[in-house]
Amino acid sequence: MYQHLTRPAHGTRALLAALCLTLAPLLAAPEAASAREGGGAPAAPARYRLTWWGDPATTAALGWEQGGAAAEVRYEERARWLETGALTQRAPATPPRARGGAWWAHLTGLRPATAYQVQVVSADGAGPPLWFETAHDAPRPFRLIAGGDSRNHRAVRRAANRLVALSAPLAVLFGGDFTAQDTRGQWDKWFDDWQLSVGPTGRLTPLVPARGNHDSEETLTRAWGEALGRFYYAFNLGGAQARVYTLNSERPAGGEQQAWLAADLAAHPGARLKVAQYHKPMRPHTDMKVEGYDEYTHWAELFTTHALDLAVECDSHLMKVTAPLRYDPTGPDGFRRAAQGGTTFIGEGGWGAPLRSVSAAYPWTIKSGRINHIFLIDVQESGAYEARAVEVPREEELAAEGAAGDPSEDAGALEGHLKPWRGFVLRRAPNSAQPPAP
């Protein structure tokens, strides 16, 4: 199973309890972080978000919104901060280039697998004490959350965000369609709700964004920073333990994007586990969506050639899991079940968008349903993984759980909220550990 994050020493429990009480009002009602919910930039720092612009083991990009004209980020290794209470390091903050954008501080030169305490200080006040953990640079167990399509029903979105706080993953892979109309007001509310992903002790979870059909690249850049470029990129976790790809199904899948993907897959043959996320499914499991012809034509064969293990798709607003598949233009709907190896496809988005019925199942579909959900993906040192769809519970249940303290300290209570839907858990060895397919 996955590893919990760094535990505090026994003598720091009182300090952490005080922090939980300090943060509880903000985390229970994220709208209080701004002057009024969805009403533009708040005066003091608020609407925090963390992402990766570089190596997840040594960098982190912290974003937030504020109305003031100056700010800086103060930070320190969390273990040292718990001993001294001092934040001795400083990082400059870059103001937004356009109205509605975020302030950013790119922290570099960090130590892998290390917790860092951070605080934003501006002329209008200081933000709450927060912390995050850098990714590891050598293999070890870790957990990811994957999902997307959060654009409509805020109660579901908020509950799913609370699951992030409860389960404390290394990162969230978010497959796009953050909002419905991509307006500033809707994004303000989205980030108000995202504050519920902050753990009771102030833990921030990095979000890895993909672009959906309801997202413009201009707005995604304002929300998640300019360093992500065309919103297709990749990074390693745990050295060669895993390579994670984010693809952009709203740009042409061929041309430059296909060439980049082919070159990057070829350059990383030693990755034990290869995972991709993108918005538009190749074979959507509802007849309300057209097939992803462009994605299938330009990516499916690359997935098979380079032994991609897992593809996370969104857009259809339902849940599905397929058998491991190999590209086969003569097979059922362009694929055939893989006797060994193959790519497993999961999805298709259920973070709060209107649900659709499963009306286009395929002969290689092994699980599907019309549910609000996220996927938990637990990865072992070897690259073997378990993936389970977790149905999003009522927000009130999670709010009561979070108010009681740090749920990551109570494994029983935590796992009670993270039960696999209908008991189904996908367990797979990585393709790298299997003989080459014929």
Q: Which of 130, 194, 141, 142 is nearest to 168 (CA)?
A: 142
Residues 274 and 201 occupy one common structural domain: yes
Residues 279 and 185 in one domain: yes
Alpha-carbon distance of 340 to 348, in angstroms, equals 24
Is there a single domain that holds both residue 327 and residue 391?
yes
- Provide the 10 A C-beta neighbour count for residue 209: 23
pLDDT of residue 226: 85
Residue 418 to residue 409: CA distance in whole angstroms:
15
Structure tokens at 338: 């893989």
- pLDDT tens digits, residue range 108-139? 999 999 999 999 999 888 999 999 999 999 99
Q: Are residues 380 and 279 in the same domain?
A: yes
Q: Within a 13 Å sphere around the CA of 342, how many CA atoms are in the beta-carbon half?
A: 17
- The reply to whether 194 and 97 lie within a common domain is no
pLDDT of residue 51: 98
d(CA 20, CA 68): 27
Among the listed residues 158, 149, 109, 200, the one whose alpha carbon sits nearest the alpha carbon of residue 312: 149
Q: For position 75, what pLDDT does the model report?
A: 98
Residues 250 and 296 in one domain: yes
Look up the CATH number of the domain holding residue 358.
Answer: 3.60.21.10
CB-based contact 151:353 (threshold 8 Å): yes
CATH of the domain at 71: 2.60.40.10
pLDDT in tens, 290-347: 999 999 999 999 999 999 999 999 999 999 999 999 999 998 899 999 999 999 999 9
pLDDT at position 162 is 94
Identify the pLDDT of residue 393: 87
Among 114, 133, 111, CA closest to 58: 111
Do 188 and 316 fall into the same domain?
A: yes
The model carries a pTM of: 0.90
Residues of the chain with pLDDT under 50: 1-36, 403-405, 407-411
